[in-house]
Amino acid sequence: MDTTGCGGHCAFERAAEVEFRALSESVREVKERMTRLESALARGTALLVANLAGMVITLAGQLIG
């Protein structure tokens, strides 16, 4: 007879809690990686726009001069 009052569910509840913590940590890690990826993408886009603007200015200068 179960004297803990758990009815046999405590082990499953503890296992589920451990799995939930691991899942939460994984989601947190994915979120951090996505933030870094978004930052790198934003920097890359800014560099691309700056390079294109420089090329346009250079070409315009050659056409005018």
Query: What pTM was computed for the model?
Result: 0.64
Using CA atoms, how far residue 4 sits from 1, 11, 46, 47, in Å, is 9, 12, 62, 64
Q: 26 phi and psi, to 5 degrees?
A: -65, -40
Query: Could you report the per-residue pLDDT of 5-51, keeping only the tens digit for each?
Result: 666 678 889 999 999 999 999 999 999 999 999 999 999 999 999 99
Q: How far apart are CA 16 and CA 35, in angstroms?
A: 28
Q: How far apart are CA 36 and CA 39, in angstroms?
A: 5
Domain ranges of the chain: 1-65
